[in-house]
Each structure stands twice: as C-alpha cells, then as structure tokens.
C-alpha cells in the first residue's frame, strides 16, 4: 500500500488548554513530515467531515489522530478496513494526567513525544493480510463424550447447522445420567424432581442426520489446528501407533539420543506425522465428564462396610428400584447422608463436591422417603449449598417430615452385628452430640474431572498431548474460569460439563450450549482469517522471517497456547489458527524475526527512539512504560479520568501483552539515554490474571535477565522494573509510576546519556 499520511489534533476535552496546539502541530509537520490539522472536536460530525474530506479528496489512507484514548470513540474514528488509523492519547495521558499548575514546558514535550510516537507507529504499520488455511476451513465439530454435556453440545451444534461426530468411549450413550432415578427440578416451582432428560437427548442425537455417533471409540490423537484438525480414532481401551506422543523436551531428546533415557514415544508415530485415514474437523468439544471421587481414605466413616456407599453408588441402586441394604437385602428404612469427612478436618468437604453433592443428598433423601413412608433420611452437613432457585428444592426437602438436617461433624461410623450402622456426630445444631442408628450411610463423594489424571484430548502438539497447568485448577479443564469460560489453553478445544466444573444437569446443558457456540465461533473466525479469542476479530498474525531463524526453539517452547510446532531441525511451524496473537513469540525471539503487520519489534523500537531525550537537562529525565492493553492501559485511562496525576516525565507505550515485550526495546530505551523503563501488566502465578496466561510471567523472567546484563554494564538494575496491576486498581497507578520515577530521579540520570 502506498501510504498517504495526515495527522489531526483535537483541541477539545481540555487538550487545547493544556497544550500549545500550534506548536504541537508544528512538531508533526516539521519533524514528522505530515500534514497536520487542528479541530475543536474531532469526534463530532464536523470533525469527522474534515477527515473524510481529506480521505476522499486527497487520497489520505493513513490517519494519525491526536485526541482521546484509543479505547474510546472507536466508531467515530473508524475509517474503514482499508485505512490505517493510529491514535495518540493526548487527552487521558497528557491533558488529564497533568495538574492545572503543571510546568507547561514539560507538558508540551510530553504531548510532542506522543505525536512523534504516533506518527512513527503510522509509518511502521501495514494493513493486515488475514491468514487463510491452505486446505480451506473444515467446519465439522468433534464432540468427545456422550453424556449430557456431549449430547447437548452435539444437538446444539447440529441445530445451528453444523456436522458433528460424537465419540463415546463406552458402548452406550448417556453417560452417568442413564442410571439415575430422577434429577433436580429445572423449572418452577423448583420443588419437583424430574425424569432425567438424558433419554430425550439421546433420542435427538440419534434422530439427527447431522450427527454421527461412534460408541466404544476413543480419540487416539488430534493433530492439526482449528479449522483443520485431523483426528485418528481407535477402539476404546486399546493401544494404537497413532496414540498422541508424550512431550519430549530438548534435554530429554538429548538423553534419548545418547541412549540414557528410554523414548516414551517408541512405537508411536511422530507428532507431526499426518494420518491420511484420519477424519478432519474444525473444532473439538471436550465433554468427557467426571468420575466419582475415591473416598476410601476416610476410614473413620466406616468405608469398609458394604452398607457405607458413595452417592454415585446409591444413585445407581436407586435407579434399579427400591433401595435395599447391600449386606442383607433388607429394605432400607433410615439413611445418613454424610456430606463432609468430619473428624479432625471437620470444616472440609469431600474433594470435588461443589454445590452438586448438597443437591444430590437432598434428592436421594427424597428417594428414601419415596421408597418407605416411614423412611428417615438424615443429612449431616458442614456446608449446604443450594444456589439460585435450588433454594426452593432445599425448602421442599426440608419440609418433608422424614428428612432431618443438621450441621454436624461426623466423628465415627461403625457397623453393628446386624449390619446396621451407628453414626456419631459432634457440633450439631441440636447443641448436643448425636448418635444415629441407620441402615445405610451415603458419603457425598465429589465429581473428579476426567482431565485430572489423563490427557483426554490427546493432541499431537509440540508442547505435548494434554491441556497444561491444570494443577492450578485442581485438574479441571480450565484456563481462566472467571474471565474466559470454556477456554482451555488450546484454541479450538472447548470444555464443558463435569470436566470443567462439578455441575448439575441444568448447568451442564447451559455449559454445553456455550461450548458448542464457542466451537462454531472458533472455526468461523478461522475461516475469516481472524483471531477468535481474546483478541476477537484481529486480522493480524505472527509472521516469521525464517531465513534468519537460528532454530533456538524459544518461540515453540514459550507460546502459551502451543501454537507453534516444529520440524526435525527445530524450525518453527506456526499454526495461525491456534494462535491468540499475544505476541509472546515475538517477545521471545532473540533474532527479532517474528512480528505482526501492525505490531512488531521494529515498530515499537522506532517509537522508543522517537522519544526526544534531552541530554543536557538534569531535571528532564525520561521514562518509558510498556503497558499491557488488557488491564493496565484501561487502568491508566481510569486514573486519568479521575485526574489522579501521573508524572509527565513518563511516556507510555501500549503492548498486546507483556509477553510480547522484546528485550531489545529496553536496550533501545537505555541506549537512547532514557533513565528508566517499566513494564506494567497483569498478575501472574497461581492466581494469574494475565489474558495470555504466561505473558506476564515470562516478561518478569526476561526482565531479570536484562537487569543482570545492565548490571554488568554498570547501570543500576533499579532502572528496569516489572509491576502487576489489575484493572480495578487504577487508584494505585500514580503511586506505582510516580514512585518508580522518584526513585530514579533520586538516583540521578542515566550515566550513558548522550553517548
């Protein structure tokens, strides 16, 4: 594209009061060689007409707007896909961040730098050229798991017009729910239990001409990428040469090559081998469900007795007919539902219980009452969780004369000679210790996600077959439950139902519907060549200048989403449809050969260099802050809206993710004589908030290295810093930035200034 530039400055919203606009316009036109026009309200219809006229009459196609934050007025300053629009944030970061009595000279320099950076960014930006899969986009959906979640996902996807293949490990569809006697109420008055819906779901799947069902089948491996997955099946429970290979790191490969380690993938096809027999899919829905938790460790609860069962076992018994005591077949008259392990760890629940086990106990207590008019069901809980309308179900159960509820710490369950059980409980609501005599005890075992101990998805990826870091989520297939439901660490793989959270049938149905929509969204986005999440609609993607690649494998290792495979030599093989456009690979590459059309190492480096650093003024220090656009940048805008005040020695550069910060920018800044550089991003670690999961963490590690390098050059390591901030912590922004500035002001200017 032949670029024709024009810059526009807005004097509204207080910008004109804070800055000498004529002088600023002069900087743009003389230094940056761009025509520059000024208007009192660029976002108004009148302002827009001014710009549109230039676009139409003079063929302007690259517009620099010096006005408000790029986070606002996006429609007003949208000039179409064929134009490049760059926004310099003069309002929030200059006019609104300086107090009224700020030194005009400093403010003017600040505004000038933002325009210099904006114009540089415009010069270095290219129009994106969306990625397209060579083979075209496959729009079929693979659903793994034939329980309520899988059936629902399949039905919903089919209803939306997509082809689905549903793979179920066992011989029949329906999962656990086929054995249930009844399920929770799903509609007003929320008191009546319902016939499990699972048979209807199975029927619908079987009736659909868009859904292919494969029972007794497992997925051996899934290779490829969204829009172009290649899935190899195998008979359930068997081994296959196409089983997904385990991850082999660089060091392990060395060991294998030397013969000091056994190859875990011996006999298996290489992860990059393509099975011509495989079936192609666009996206994968993971609905592999859960298994009942193992509670055999709780010896004090009498687990050795036949008459002590888990809720899952009890449900199965109830599904088969009248409940009888396992030891002697006596019709059950009284049952104690033990909801928490009790004993020493009395406030804990059984693992993986969530609120579901509370509801299950209420439901099963009702069975006891249904089966026997004199039946007695005791529910001994530490926590009774009945969210939403389920409170009404709880009330209904509570209202039953034969259901007895109390908070209690169960100390001991013992079997008597006749098979009946005595249950001892302390700390009850009855203010006394209780001793119950019951026919059976039911333990509220939780729902363990199938991903806890198995790979399940079996991806043939460079980074290994499983979803990673699930230990942060107790094994649930999750990557960021609150911000990004359904998302896993692998684009194109969407989890729903019990594998994601201990859910009720009702919740599972919602969940599976959502996952089906995410799967569709994924390959439809891929089809349009745009990113799906979280930078939805981004047309750029990382491009590699392979000629200069040294096969260092940093990008393949560090991509948080396993988007990059490699060949035998280690040359990266990027999969843009797996990619989330975080730029972590770009930050990682020591050769600086990875970049996006509108965001690359050269561009940001040039922007850093565009900042004017006075080399003869002790007071005019300069700081660059690379700010993650997901949380930190909006937080700075919010701080500005509240006029909290940020030092005007600071120049802010937004980045996609701290992971994308290439350390060369820090070096650029320091060698340009700047006095300090800071990275401001999201929290990382166990409770990470990082939108790209690992970016912030990797940036921190890289900064430690750069600080060491600086130290060896004789520069104070304090001149570089990484700080974490959440979007709602805007009030901390001035403190974070200004303290950093003050510390370095005290330290004095960069000793290499001017060299």
Partner 1 sequence: MTMKVDPDMSFIKYLKSAGGDTLKNCYQCATCSVVCPLSKDGSPFPRKEMILAQWGMKDKLIGDVNTMLCHNCGDCNTYCPRGAKPGEVLGAIRAYAYTHYGFPQGLAKLASDGKNLPILIGIPAAIVLVLWLISGGMHMPEGPVDFGNFFGHWDFHWLTKTTFFIDIIFLPAAAFSLFAAYKGVSAMWNKMSESLEISSDFSPSAKQFTLEFLWPAIKETVQHKRFNECGTNVDRVKGHLPLLLAFIGLLLVTGYSFVRKDFLGLIYPNLHGPIPLYDPFKLLANISAVALLVGVAILWANRKKMEADGKAAPTFYDWFLIWEIAAVGITGLGAELLRWADFGVLAYLAYYLHLVSIFMLFFYMPYTKFAHMVYRTFAMAFEKYRESSFVQKESS
Residue 420 interacts with, from partner 1, ligand SF4, none (CB under 5-8 Å by kind) = none
For residue 594, state whether it binds ligand SF4 (rule: CB under 6 A): yes
Contact between 646 and 625 (Cβ < 8 Å):
no
Looking at beta carbons only, is 406 or 683 nearer to partner 1?
406
Angle at 7 between CA 5 and CA 539, to 5 degrees: 65
Residue number, 431 or 547, with CB nearest to partner 1: 431
Q: Considering beta carbons, is residue 213 or 390 the nearer one to partner 1?
A: 390
User: Which CB sits closer to ligand SF4, 252 or 591?
Assistant: 591
Phi and psi at residue 316, in whole multiples of 5°?
A: -65, -45
Task: Tell me if residue 197 falls in helix, strand or coil.
Answer: coil
DSSP 3-state of 47: helix
Q: Are 623 and 675 in contact (CB under 8 A)?
A: yes
Q: Which does 551 bind (CB under 5 to 8 A by kind): ligand SF4, partner 1, none?
A: ligand SF4
Residue 374 vs 712, nearer CB to partner 1? 374
Alpha-carbon span 415 to 309, nearest angstrom: 13
Cβ at position 250, least distance to ligand SF4 in Å? 12
Of the candidates 644, 523, 713, the residue with the CA atom closest to the CA atom of residue 139: 523
**What is the x/- site pattern for ligand SF4, positions 513-552, by CB under 6 A?**
-----------------------------x-x----xxxx
Residues 335, 379 contacting (CB under 8 angstroms): no
694 binds, among ligand SF4, partner 1, none (CB under 5 to 8 A by kind): none
Give me the least distance between CB of 239 and partner 1, in Å please: 54
Could you tell me if 244 and 293 are in contact, meaning their C-beta atoms sit under 8 angstroms apart? no
Q: Which does 399 bind (CB under 5 to 8 A by kind): partner 1, ligand SF4, none?
A: partner 1
For residue 248, what are the contacts with CB-CB under 8 A and spacing of at least 6?
A: 256, 263, 264, 265
Is residue 533 at the binding interface for partner 1, with CB under 8 A as the rule?
no
676-681 and 720-724 strand pairing: parallel
Nearest approach, Cβ of residue 490 and ligand SF4 (Å): 11
Residues in binding contact with ligand SF4, number by CB under 6 A: 27
Tokens of 119: 């114009």
Q: Which residue, 315 or 565, has its beta carbon nearer to ligand SF4?
A: 565
For partner 1 (CB under 8 A), the number of binding residues is: 23
Q: Which is nearer to partner 1, 333 or 675 (CB)?
A: 333
Nearer to ligand SF4, 579 or 632 (CB): 579
Q: Which is nearer to partner 1, 377 or 593 (CB)?
A: 377
Among residues 93, 222, 225, 150, the alpha carbon closest in space to that of 737 is found at 93
Considering just the CA atoms, what is the radius of gyration of the chain in Å?
A: 31
Q: Does 376 bind partner 1 (CB under 8 A)?
A: yes
Question: Nearest distance from residue 565's CB to partner 1, in Å?
Answer: 57
| Residue 447 touches ligand SF4, criterion: CB under 6 A | no
| Mode of pairing for the β-strands spanning 5-10 and 62-67 | parallel
- One of 56, 238, 260, 374 touching partner 1 (CB under 8 A): 374
CA distance 630 to 691: 7
Tally of CB atoms within 10 A around 352: 23
Short-list 251, 286, 4, CA closest to 145: 286
* H or E element that contains 201: helix 198-207
Among 376, 554, 622, 691, binds ligand SF4 (CB under 6 A): 554
397-436 binders of partner 1 (CB under 8 A): 398-402, 404-407, 424, 429-436
29's torsion region: left (phi>0), alpha (psi -120 to 50) or beta? alpha
* 492: alpha, beta or left? (left if phi > 0; alpha if psi -120 to 50): left
The listed partner (ligand SF4, partner 1, none) that binds 176, CB under 5 to 8 Å by sort, is: none
Contact indicator for 692, 582 with CB cutoff of 8 Å: yes
CB of 133 to ligand SF4, least distance (A): 15
For residues 372 and 630, which CB has a smaller minimum distance to partner 1 in the complex? 372
Token pair 């495989």 is at which residue? Answer: 278
Q: Return the residues of window 564-593 that contact ligand SF4 according to CB under 6 A.
A: 564, 572, 574, 579-585, 588-589, 591, 593
Which strands form 84-89's sheet, in the order they lie side by side?
36-39, 5-10, 62-67, 84-89
- Is the torsion defined by CA of 99, 103, 104, 110 positive or negative? negative
Q: Which residue has the tokens 């032949």?
A: 2
C-beta of 423: minimal distance to partner 1 in Å?
A: 9
Shortest Å distance, C-beta 395 to partner 1:
7
Q: How far is the CB of 398 from partner 1 (least distance, A)?
A: 6
Q: Minimal distance in Å, beta carbon 368 to partner 1?
A: 13
Footprint on residues 290-349 left by partner 1 (CB under 8 A): none
39 vs 521: CA distance, rounded Å: 41
Residue 238 binding target from partner 1, ligand SF4, none, CB below 5 to 8 Å by type? none
Binding site partner of 429, from partner 1, ligand SF4, none, Cβ cut-off 5-8 A by kind: partner 1
Strand, coil or helix: 566: strand
Report in angstroms how near the CB of residue 437 gets to partner 1 at its nearest.
8
585 touches which of ligand SF4, partner 1, none (CB within 5 to 8 A by kind)? Answer: ligand SF4
How many CB atoms are located within 10 Å of the residue 16 CB?
Answer: 17
Q: Which residues bind ligand SF4 (CB under 6 A)?
A: 542, 544, 549-555, 559, 561, 563-564, 572, 574, 579-585, 588-589, 591, 593-594
Q: Which residues bind partner 1 (CB under 8 A)?
A: 374, 376, 378, 395, 398-402, 404-407, 424, 429-437
């Amino acid at each position: 594209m032949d670029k024709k530039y024009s810059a526009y400055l807005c004097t509204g919203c207080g910008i004109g009061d804070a800055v000498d606009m004529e002088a600023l316009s002069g900087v743009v036109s003389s230094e940056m060689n761009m025509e520059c026009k000024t208007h009192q309200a660029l976002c108004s219809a009148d302002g827009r007409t001014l710009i549109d006229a230039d676009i139409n009459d003079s063929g302007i196609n690259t517009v620099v707007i010096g006005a408000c934050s790029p986070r606002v007025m996006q429609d007003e300053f949208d000039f179409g896909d064929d134009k490049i629009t760059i926004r310099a944030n003069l309002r929030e970061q200059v006019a609104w961040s300086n107090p009224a009595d700020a030194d005009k000279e400093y403010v003017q320099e600040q505004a000038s730098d933002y325009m210099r950076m904006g114009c540089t960014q415009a010069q270095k930006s290219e129009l994106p050229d969306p990625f397209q899969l060579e083979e075209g986009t496959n729009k079929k959906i693979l659903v793994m798991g034939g329980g309520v979640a899988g059936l629902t996902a399949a039905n919903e996807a089919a209803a939306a017009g997509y082809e689905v293949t549903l793979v179920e490990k066992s011989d029949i569809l329906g999962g656990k729910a086929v054995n249930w006697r009844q399920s929770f109420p799903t509609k007003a008055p929320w008191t009546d239990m319902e016939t499990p819906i699972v048979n209807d779901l199975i029927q619908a799947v079987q009736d659909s001409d868009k859904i292919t069902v494969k029972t007794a089948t497992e997925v051996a491996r899934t290779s490829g990428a969204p829009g172009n997955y290649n899935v190899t099946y195998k008979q359930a429970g068997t081994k296959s040469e196409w089983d997904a290979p385990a991850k082999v790191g660089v060091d392990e490969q060395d060991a294998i090559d030397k013969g000091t380690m056994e190859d875990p993938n011996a006999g298996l096809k290489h992860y990059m081998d393509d099975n011509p027999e495989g079936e192609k899919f666009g996206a994968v829905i993971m609905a592999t469900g859960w298994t009942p938790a193992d509670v055999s460790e709780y010896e004090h609860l009498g687990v050795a007795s036949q008459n002590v069962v888990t809720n899952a076992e009890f449900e199965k018994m109830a599904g088969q007919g009248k409940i009888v005591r396992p030891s002697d077949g006596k019709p059950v008259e009284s049952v104690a539902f033990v909801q928490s392990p009790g004993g020493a760890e009395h406030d804990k629940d059984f693992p993986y219980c969530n609120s579901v086990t509370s509801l299950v106990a209420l439901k099963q207590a009702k069975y006891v009452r249904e089966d026997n008019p004199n039946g007695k069901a005791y529910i001994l809980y530490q926590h009774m969780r009945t969210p939403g309308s389920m409170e009404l179900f709880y009330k209904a159960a509570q209202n039953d004369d034969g259901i007895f509820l109390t908070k209690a710490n169960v100390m001991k369950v013992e079997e008597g000679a006749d098979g009946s059980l005595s249950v001892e409980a302390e700390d009850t609501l009855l203010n006394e210790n209780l001793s119950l005599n019951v026919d059976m005890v039911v333990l509220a075992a939780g729902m363990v996600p199938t991903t806890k101990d198995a790979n399940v998805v079996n991806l043939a990826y460079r980074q290994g077959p499983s979803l990673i870091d699930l230990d942060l989520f107790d094994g649930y297939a999750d990557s960021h439950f609150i911000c990004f439901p359904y998302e896993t660490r692998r684009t194109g793989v969407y989890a729903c139902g019990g594998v994601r959270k201990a859910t009720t049938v009702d919740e599972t149905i919602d969940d599976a519907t959502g996952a089906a929509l995410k799967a569709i969204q994924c390959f439809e986005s891929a089809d349009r060549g745009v990113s799906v999440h979280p930078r939805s609609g981004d047309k750029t993607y990382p491009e590699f200048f392979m000629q200069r690649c040294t096969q260092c494998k940093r990008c393949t290792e560090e991509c948080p989403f396993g988007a990059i495979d490699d060949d035998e030599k280690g040359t990266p093989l990027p999969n843009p449809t797996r990619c989330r456009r975080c730029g972590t690979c770009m930050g990682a590459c020591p050769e600086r050969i990875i970049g996006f059309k509108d965001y690359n190492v050269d561009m940001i480096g040039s922007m850093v260099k565009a900042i004017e650093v006075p080399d003869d003024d002790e007071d005019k220090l300069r700081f660059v802050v690379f700010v993650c656009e997901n949380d930190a940048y909006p937080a700075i805008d919010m701080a500005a809206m509240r006029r909290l005040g940020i030092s005007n020695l600071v120049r802010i550069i937004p980045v996609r993710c701290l992971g994308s910060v290439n350390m060369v920018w820090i070096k650029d800044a320091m060698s340009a004589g700047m006095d300090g550089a800071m990275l401001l991003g999201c929290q990382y670690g166990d409770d990470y908030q990082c939108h790209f999961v690992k970016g912030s963490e990797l940036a921190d590690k890289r900064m430690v290295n750069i600080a060491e390098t600086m130290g060896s050059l004789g520069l104070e390591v304090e001149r570089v810093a990484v700080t974490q901030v959440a979007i709602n912590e805007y009030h901390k922004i001035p403190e974070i930035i200004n303290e950093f500035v003050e510390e370095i002001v005290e330290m004095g200017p960069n000793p290499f200034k001017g060299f």
